[in-house]
Structure 1
Amino acid sequence: MTTTTHSALVVEEVSWEDPDAGALRARQRAEMAERYGTPDSEPGTPPSAADIAVFVVARNPDGTAVGCAGLRAIDSRSGELKRMYVDPASRGTGAAALLLTSLEKWARRQGWTRLLLETGLAQPDAVRFYTRSGYRRIPNFGSYEGLDKSLCYARELGEAPDPASTP
């Protein structure tokens, strides 16, 4: 298990079945349902324990889980960011940047050279965050092709992130 610490936050690898991870994913799905007005906005195969290569949870000093994110392998050199979420009360604390940085480091150790992600028009905050973090808009890929509300991004892991987005 890998643990990364930043300020007062700690990021640790957990299993998909971890209760805190499950609770955070449920809150993420509820927020997406509210933003998009549909109970499930996942256009493709939902992530699961069978296809998530790594899942991490950010915790505050008292151990409360405040954010999560995972990676699904696309092929031997790239992965897709899935279920990135930070509890609204913890946004602006650096948790999202710490989660993303932790996953990028994990991906590099696996020999992955590129990460992709999908977000949407109802998530301008996510678009700003990913753009600041060095992700660039790409044509929609996979199950997101042809979906007008989907926005896809990628980052070559050899690129240095924008210093303003580094935790």
Structure 2
Amino acid sequence: MERVDWTDPDLQRLVADQEREIDARYGDSEHASHLDAETVTVAVLARDVESKEAIACGVLRDPAPGFEAGTGELNRMYVHPDHRRRGIGKEILRALEAVAKERQLGQLVLETGIQQPEAIGLYTSEGYRIIDNYPPYEDDLDSRCFAKAIGEEG
């Protein structure tokens, strides 16, 4: 795992790959989360051990837009298709949760799509629970929002 700036070219390549995949699944090119260097608290990359190519990413925003202080938002969770089903997504998720603990956040929230069962499976297996869709996803029938308490775990 490697922490990088939002402007990192490898991160931006993975974000573009993720957007293309989302567009293909949902037939939509409108991306609701407006991330930039000012809204991203931390971004993490995973690299292939041999090639050193960036193969997965995720970001944390603190605070999550529309939430009170103490709630962060996970975003841009993505693993390149050639590297899925190897636990890399779980490693990214846990790295971002560790950052949330460092920042003394009490809760993380995230949004994913109903046509992403692999993502939903990851989040539920890691203790995230379904919550009401939060803005800007409250009227989006393709969205599913999750939350997890962070602070009180051992």
Q: Is 2:41 aligned against 1:53?
A: yes
1:147 is paired with a residue whose SS is coil
SS in 2 for 1:52: coil
**TM superposition shift of 1:94:** 1.4
Match of 1:37 in 2: 27
Counterpart for residue 139 of structure 1: 132
**Following superposition of structure 1 onto structure 2, how do residues 12-161 of structure 1 map, counting pairs within 5 Å?**
12-40=2-30, 42-43=31-32, 45-62=33-50, 63-73=52-62, 74=64, 75-158=68-151
For 2:6 and 2:14, locate their aligned partners in 1 and report how far apart those are by CA, in whole Å. 11
What is the number of equivalent residue pairs in this alignment? 149
Aligned mates of 1:79, 1:20 — CA distance in 2: 23
* Amino acid corresponding to residue 60 of structure 2 in structure 1: L
Aligned amino acid, residue 126 of structure 1: A
SS in 1 for 2:60: strand
Q: Following the alignment from structure 1 to structure 2, what is the Cα–Cα distance between the partners of residues 119 and 140?
A: 10
**Letter aligned with residue 70 of structure 1:** V
CA positional deviation for 1:121: 1.3
Q: Report the Cα offset of residue 97 of structure 1.
A: 0.6
Segments of 4+ moved more than 3 angstroms: 158-161
Gaps of 5+ in 1: 1-10, 162-167
CA distance in 2, matches of 1:159, 1:128: 23
Equivalent pair of 2:57/2:78 in contact (CA under 8 Å): yes
- What RMSD over aligned residues (CA atoms) do the two structures have, in Å? 1.4
Distance in 1 (CA, whole Å) between partners of 2:121 and 2:85 is 13
Structure 2 unmatched runs, 5+ = none
Indicate if the aligned counterparts of 2:104 and 2:151 stay in contact, CA closer than 8 A.
no
- Greater fraction strand: 1
Shift, 1:120, TM fit = 1.1
| SS of aligned partner of 1:142 | coil
Instruction: Give % identity.
Output: 39
Amino acid across the alignment from 2:130: R
1:143 Cα shift? 0.7
Q: CA deviation at 1:76?
A: 2.5
| Amino acid in the other structure paired with 1:49 | A
User: Hey, what's the Cα distance between the residues in 1 that align with 2:153 and 2:144?
Assistant: 22
Distance 1:150 1:135 in 2: 15
